[in-house]
């Protein structure tokens, strides 16, 4: 790693101090770094900065400072590149971030010494079909979620796997998740925890109006199709909890794994089950 990109969530109170400390560490170890423009404004020093969208073109790796939301934004923005991403946790849960503040120096030392591996996580694609025409196409690292919006009336979601009818979910919505996203919204809706190295998709209903609905885990090469039936138009497709598309009754959304992968830097002592235990027990879920 000859050049490292740094992206901070500037709304986090700790961002300025932690970002400055990392820059000092990289300076002391003669490593070049580039910040995105918003992060550079946090520091009272001259530094090289590039616009967020193109930062990935100038670096060999990216470090993001924040929580899972900050990490997800970077991962989706740069998913078409081969540049790996490492997270420094300034949030609460931080399932995707790898370095806690109490081991910041140790984590940076491991990174610069090459004591890490790169995990490739699957990426989910959703295609919105309206009146037999593709209207939009989105990708997600965690999940794509169909929700009924602010109305209290349920929506009916007719669901197929590889063209075979499975069931119709009456309820508040449906989560289509990657294994990486199994510890996000899907988990809070009662979905299973899946090792993020697996290649599969998870279907989890949100508040289903039935006594027998359960999550379904598909194989990596199966396509999930959902047809929407509702008596109102306040329906949304949400991408990683950050972006959204309006949906209407009669719309069809096709979900499947793409050929893209998200590349995550995992330090030498990373263990998914240890992270899982610390995050869930530490937050008393």
| CATH number of the domain that residue 75 is part of | 3.40.50.10330
Residues 101 and 128 in one domain: no
Expressed as residue numbers, the domain containing 218 is 123-259
Q: pLDDT tens, 216-230? A: 999 999 999 999 999
The answer to whether residue 58 scores a pLDDT higher than 80 is yes
Q: What is the b/e burial string over 199-226, where b = at least 16 CB atoms within 10 angstroms of the residue's CB?
A: ebbbbbbbebeeeebebbbbeeeebbbb
Q: Which helix (H) or strand (E) holds 279?
A: helix 272-282
pLDDT at 234 (0 to 100): 86
Residues 132 and 98 in one domain: no
Write the CATH number for 154.
2.60.200.30
| DSSP helix/strand/coil, 274 | helix
Domain count, the chain: 2
Residues 41 and 79 in one domain: yes
The set of catalytic residues is 68
pLDDT at 89 (0 to 100): 93
* pLDDT band (50, 70, 90) for residue 151: low
The overall average pLDDT reported for the chain is: 93
Residues 54 and 145 in one domain: no
The answer to whether residue 279 scores a pLDDT higher than 90 is no
pLDDT at 229 (0 to 100): 96
Q: Which residues contact 179 (CB under 8 A, 6 or more apart)?
A: 121, 122, 194, 195, 196, 197, 198, 199, 200, 202
% of the chain surpassing 70 pLDDT? 98
């Amino acid at each position: 790693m000859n050049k490292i990109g740094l992206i901070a969530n500037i709304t986090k109170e700790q961002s300025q101090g932690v970002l400055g400390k990392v820059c000092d560490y990289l300076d002391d170890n003669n490593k070049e770094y580039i910040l995105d423009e918003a992060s550079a404004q946090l520091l009272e020093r001259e530094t090289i900065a590039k616009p967020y969208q193109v930062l990935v073109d100038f670096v060999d790796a990216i470090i993001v400072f924040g929580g899972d939301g900050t990490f997800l934004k970077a991962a989706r923005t740069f998913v078409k590149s081969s540049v790996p991403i490492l997270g420094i946790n300034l949030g609460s849960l931080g399932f995707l971030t790898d370095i806690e503040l109490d081991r910041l120096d140790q984590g940076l030392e491991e990174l610069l010494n090459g004591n890490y591996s790169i995990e490739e996580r699957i990426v989910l694609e959703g295609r919105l079909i309206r009146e037999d025409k593709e209207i939009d196409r989105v990708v997600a690292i965690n999940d794509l979620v169909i929700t009924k919006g602010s109305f209290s009336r349920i929506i009916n979601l007719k669901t197929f796997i590889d063209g075979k009818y499975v069931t119709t979910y009456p309820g508040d919505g449906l989560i289509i998740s990657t294994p990486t996203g199994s510890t996000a919204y899907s988990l809070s809706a009662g979905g299973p925890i899946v090792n993020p190295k697996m290649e599969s998709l998870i279907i989890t209903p949100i508040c289903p109006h039935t006594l027998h609905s359960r999550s379904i885990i598909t194989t990596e090469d199966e396509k999930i199709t959902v047809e929407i039936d509702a008596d109102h138009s306040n329906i949304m497709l949400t991408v990683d909890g950050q972006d959204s598309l309006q949906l209407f009754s009669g719309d069809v959304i096709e979900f499947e794994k793409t050929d893209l992968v998200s590349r995550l830097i995992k330090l030498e002592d990373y263990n998914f089950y240890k992270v899982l235990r610390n995050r869930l027990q530490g937050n008393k879920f």
